[in-house]
Amino acid sequence: MQLDMIDRRILMVLQREGRISNADLSERVSLSPSACHRRVQRLEADGFIAAYVAILDARKIGKPATVYVEITLNSQSDEVLDAFERGITRIPDVLECHLMAGSADFLLKLMVEDTEDFARIHRQYLSRLPGVARMQSSFALRTVVKTTALAL
């Protein structure tokens, strides 16, 4: 399915204001409420809208520090990759895990309380992951840009 300009406007608004009412959304994109509702339903059914979520303020819940962890495995075999991926899904503190091209095999993103909290996660989970040859962690000093909205 191709997205037209109205679909793109709907998606742009919903990315920034996921709780907007259909009446307000329809007004913002210059459609009738019923036509707007049908379009949103179609965008959901076709998978363009994957989910609606609440984005929490990490500072307010006590996890203000962002840590990126580069992990290099001792092998690229399917068995090692599968075992690592199964293990990483069991770590509740991991927000993102990406298989990478480049110097590291995986890149993780975690939000933690502080260095002690990260040390706990490292001891309890990361150091026990199967197939890990090397791990390098970096703490973000400041967030310059942070968005979940995709450019359309």
Per-residue pLDDT of the chain (152 residues; tens, 9 = 90+): 799 999 999 999 999 999 999 999 999 999 999 999 999 999 999 999 999 999 999 999 999 999 999 999 999 999 999 999 999 999 999 999 999 999 999 999 999 999 999 999 999 999 999 999 999 999 999 999 999 999 99
> Domain span at residue 22?
5-45
The pLDDT of residue 100 is: 98
Q: Which of 69, 70, 74 is nearest to 133 (CA)?
A: 74
Q: What is the dihedral of CA 81, 86, 90, 91, to 10 degrees?
A: 10
Residue 88 sits in the same domain as residue 133: yes
Q: How far apart are CA 73 and CA 10, in angstroms?
A: 42
Q: What is the DSSP letter of 2?
A: -
Residue 106 sits in the same domain as residue 73: yes
The pLDDT of residue 1 is: 77
Q: How far apart are CA 56 and CA 129, in angstroms?
A: 28
How many independent structural domains does the chain possess?
Answer: 2
Q: Which of 52, 78, 65 is nearest to 118 (CA)?
A: 65
What's the CATH number where 9 sits?
A: 1.10.10.10
Residue 57 is assigned to a structural domain of this protein = no
Q: How far apart are CA 15 and CA 13, in angstroms?
A: 5
